[in-house]
Amino acid sequence: MTVSASIPAAVISMGVIRVILRKNSILENNMVQTIGSAGESLAAGAIFTLPALFMWAEEDASVATPSFLMITFIAVMGGILGVLFMIPLRTALIVEEHGVLPFPEGQACAEVLLAGEEGGEKSKLVSSGLGIAAIYKFVADGLCLFPSEVDWSIKPYPGSGIGMDVLPALVGVGYICGARISSYMLGGAALGWFVIMPLLVLVGGDNVMYPADAPFNTLDTWTLWGSFVRYIGAGAVAAGGIMSLIKSLPLIVKTFAKAMKGFGHEGGVSRTEKSISLPIALGGALLVAVLLWLMPSVPVSLLAAIIIVIFGFFFATVSARMVGLVGSSNNPVSGMAIATLLISTILLKATGSTGFSGMATAICIGTVICIVAAMAGDTSQDLKTGYIVGATPIKQQIGELIGSVAAGLAIAGVLYLLNTAWGYGTTQLPAPQATLMKMVVEGVMGGNLPWGLVFTGVFIAVAVEIIGIPVLPFAIGLYLPIHLSTPIMVGGLIRLWIDKRKFKNEAERQHVADNGVLYSSGMIAGEGVVGIILAILAAVGIDLNVGAPLGNWGGVAFFVALVAVMIAFMFSGKKKAK
């Protein structure tokens, strides 16, 4: 799971421009945040897929490690394509559905930027959340005084388990997304961990079924989830994405019809409406596809380039709408990549592209699509922030392109550094999503993919859609471990408590609710910044680990204290609210 970098980027830009440069421009803050957040999206797409190529090179000496140039080129092209595909969708998703699609992180970023503009108490709330979360993260994952992930198996109910990532960012994400979306996610997770996994143990008994290599009744919860539920979740996410696209088709047609009417005619468009023109966007997307096909070091054929364009736009549309509903942090880009890998690998195999070359091509397709989906979601969220604060869309779109190129130039070095330090697929660096992508491609090429599990997820998604529950957040909860959904639900419950609690007046309620958004934004930023510092320390060989002497219950105690401090800050200054 990735946590949107838009909010941390907004907090950091606020500090850099307002404090260091002694300037006070909300539009400049917005531009820094727009460019900076592009890095997280591009990195997510790359880290979810490309480590598979490194793992194949490690397993087979005849297979070459992916070149620096290849990784850089794929990353940059995917980032550019994601931004370009979002351009014709802006009016329909950002403007016409304003008030319908909440865009939680986009709204939160706008709050952060407005806090920077106003200064005073609001800025202190963001800074307080950042500082406390930074200290908490350092104690949890730096000193390892307690485990950042607590976990219990429920022995009287074999196959079930419960746990929580006791981290600040997830509580903040839950608060920003709200109780309804959080509950859908937890519902999906509960289906996986309290229904499907115990049922597998009960029915499977001492039988062995691929992809597991031991009897059901001997498997722990993580193996059950990784071997079976994750495939079911991937099928549910893929089906949810397809159903979302079908429901969005009228909107897509309407969007393109409007774009075609203004083809090449942008005179008189106001500053806050001006975007990169449709001919440039479409021409740029076509050029990217041709370059991917013609680049010698990139194993992308003409068929693969066509697949990238078709699936790229498909998932860019789904992703942009999805983040409008559930937020960038809950955007299952790896699930979209799995759906792409399934279909593209089948097509490649049918056309005779097999062996390692075929698998490498499939991973390259999946990487580009994964980055496209992540970038389209990030771009839509940032454009929403810009829409709220009065930014110029074309400048934001150019900023996203700059951010894509900058991040693309950096990502290859990061991937090489991590591989050299620990190696992908190891205990220190398990790369769970890339390992799953690798298994999917190998399964399709080798004919042993557990299709039954995938289609189980598909029809669970269909059933959920028939009931009337939003499929995507539910499917995301099924696909991710329950340990991520539980702290997000805690944040959602805090938001629900604020919404239902009695206040003197609505202004006081809004004041407390806004304080929560600002403090949550700071927590997300604080955890992200310290995560970078800890990664650097690990890379240079500095180990601060004291061995988690407080154990699981220590983690729970610290988490409760974290939540209590969050609530205290939310109510700070309440009496001053008018």
| Structure confidence by residue, pLDDT tens digits, 192-211 | 999 999 999 999 999 999 88
Q: Report, as an integer, the average pLDDT of 49-69.
A: 91
Give me the domain span that covers residue 198: 6-576
Asked if pLDDT for residue 99 goes beyond 60, the answer is: yes
Q: Report, as an integer, the average pLDDT of 255-265.
A: 55
pLDDT in tens, 389-413: 999 999 999 999 999 999 999 999 8
The 10 Å CB-count burial string (b at 16+, else e) for 37-68 is: bbbbbbbbbbbbbbbbbbbbbeeeeebeebee
- Angle, helix 333-350 to helix 432-446, in steps of 10 degrees: 20
Asked if pLDDT for residue 154 goes beyond 90, the answer is: yes
- Rounded CA-CA distance 206/354 in Å is 35
Residue 263 belongs to some domain of the structure: yes
**Amino acid letter, residue 466:** I
Asked if pLDDT for residue 176 goes beyond 80, the answer is: yes
Where residue 369 falls among pLDDT bands split at 50, 70, 90? Answer: very high
Percentage of residues in the chain having pLDDT higher than 90: 40
Domain count for the chain:
1
Asked if pLDDT for residue 574 goes beyond 70, the answer is: no
Asked if pLDDT for residue 532 goes beyond 70, the answer is: yes
- Rounded CA-CA distance 396/388 in Å is 13
Selected residue with higher pLDDT from 90 and 331: 90
Distances (CA, A) of 503 to 111, 122, 497, 499, 519: 22, 20, 11, 10, 20
pLDDT of residue 264: 47
Residue 316 belongs to some domain of the structure: yes
pLDDT of residue 428: 67
* Nearest residue to 66 via CA among 428, 412, 405: 412
pLDDT of residue 566: 95
Which residues on adjacent β-strands are paired with residue 149?
Answer: 165
Selected residue with higher pLDDT from 553 and 432: 553
pLDDT of residue 419: 85
Residue 138 belongs to some domain of the structure: yes
pLDDT of residue 318: 80
Residue 355 belongs to some domain of the structure: yes
**Nearest-5° Cα angle at 577, 522 to 559:** 35
Asked if pLDDT for residue 361 goes beyond 90, the answer is: yes
Maximum Cα–Cα distance across the chain:
72
Selected residue with higher pLDDT from 548 and 81: 81
pLDDT in tens, 43-54: 888 998 999 999
pLDDT in tens, 449-473: 788 998 999 999 999 999 999 888 8
Where residue 93 falls among pLDDT bands split at 50, 70, 90? Answer: confident
Q: For residues 453 and 230, is the Cβ–Cβ distance under 8 A? A: no
Selected residue with higher pLDDT from 180 and 331: 180
Residue 262 belongs to some domain of the structure: yes
Where residue 27 falls among pLDDT bands split at 50, 70, 90? Answer: confident
Where residue 372 falls among pLDDT bands split at 50, 70, 90? Answer: very high
Selected residue with higher pLDDT from 187 and 417: 187
Q: Report, as an integer, the average pLDDT of 52-62.
A: 91
CA Rg value for the chain: 23
* Nearest residue to 474 via CA among 249, 243, 246: 243
Q: Report, as an integer, the average pLDDT of 316-320.
A: 83
Q: For residues 298 and 292, is the Cβ–Cβ distance under 8 A? A: yes
Q: Report, as an integer, the average pLDDT of 178-198.
A: 95
pTM (two decimals):
0.79
Residue 40 belongs to some domain of the structure: yes
pLDDT of residue 474: 92
Selected residue with higher pLDDT from 277 and 21: 277
Asked if pLDDT for residue 262 goes beyond 60, the answer is: no
Q: What's the chain's average pLDDT? A: 86
pLDDT of residue 578: 45
Asked if pLDDT for residue 577 goes beyond 50, the answer is: no
Selected residue with higher pLDDT from 545 and 575: 545
| Range with lowest mean pLDDT among 223-227, 228-232, 470-474, 541-545 | 541-545
DSSP 161: E
Selected residue with higher pLDDT from 117 and 437: 437
Selected residue with higher pLDDT from 38 and 14: 38
Q: Position of tokens 């097509």?
A: 347
Q: Report, as an integer, the average pLDDT of 505-509.
A: 87
Residue 294 belongs to some domain of the structure: yes
Asked if pLDDT for residue 490 goes beyond 90, the answer is: yes
Residue 1 belongs to some domain of the structure: no
Tally the residues of the chain. Answer: 578
What is the full DSSP assignment across 481-539?
-HHHHHHHHHHHHHHHHHHHS--SSHHHHHHHHHHHHHHHHHHHHHHHHHHHHHHHHHH
